[in-house]
Amino acid sequence: MPARPDLPALHLLNSVFAGITGQDLYLAAQLKAGIEQALAEEGCKPGAPGTFAQAVAVLQARFGGDAARRGFFHWDAGDSPASPDSLWSRQQVLDGLKRLAPYAEATLLITGLRAALCPRGHRWTERRREAYREALAFFDALAAARKRTSANVTVVVL
């Protein structure tokens, strides 16, 4: 059975590099494979979302042809000094949305949310699942409320 494609990562690549991929998942998959191969050659841990997001940010800064039109912001919930549902985390995401405000199209990438809400070795309880759903809904609503009416902001959670 073939491996399931990582749809959030492909969607991220399609939204950040829409001018290159043309929203084609096959081209996004090739781009993803190239990034993962380069990361493996550098000795980075495969599948680490923060590392992948940093590579995407570097590529977007280097090759994002229409960088004046497209913005990108990455927030890692694991790096936040407080829990993802705290005011501190909300302020960090708001700061990122302010940086994305001038762009007609932007991508807000959130990584480490699941791990921040349910640390390794703990079980997913109903309370943690509800907190995760509430955090997702909150960040979606926050992005929708804080964007320009003419802007297209994509929220991707890895």
pLDDT tens-digit map of 91-126: 888 999 998 888 888 888 888 888 888 888 889 899
pTM over 0.75? The answer is: no
What is the rounded distance in angstroms from the CA atom of residue 60 to the CA atom of residue 13?
Answer: 10
Where are the chain's structural domains?
7-157
Which residues fall within 8 angstroms of residue 84, CB to CB, at 6 or more apart?
Answer: 77, 113, 116, 117, 135
DSSP conformation class of 45: P
What is the rounded distance in angstroms from the CA atom of residue 60 to the CA atom of residue 20?
Answer: 11
HSE-up of 97 (CA within 13 Å, CB side)? 22
Stretch 143-155: mean pLDDT, rounded?
87
Average pLDDT of the chain to the nearest whole number: 79
DSSP conformation class of 79: G
What is the residue type of 16? V
* More confident: 33 or 5: 33
- Cα R_g (the chain), whole angstroms: 16
* The predicted structure's pLDDT at residue 1: 41
Question: CA torsion sign, 122 to 127 to 132 to 133?
Answer: positive
Please name the helix (run of DSSP H) or strand (run of DSSP E) that holds residue 20, with its range, or none: helix 18-21
What is the rounded distance in angstroms from the CA atom of residue 18 to the CA atom of residue 22?
Answer: 5
Predicted confidence (pLDDT) per residue in 38-71, tens digit: 777 777 665 565 677 778 777 777 666 555 677 8
Which residues fall within 8 angstroms of residue 152, CB to CB, at 6 or more apart?
Answer: 104, 105, 106
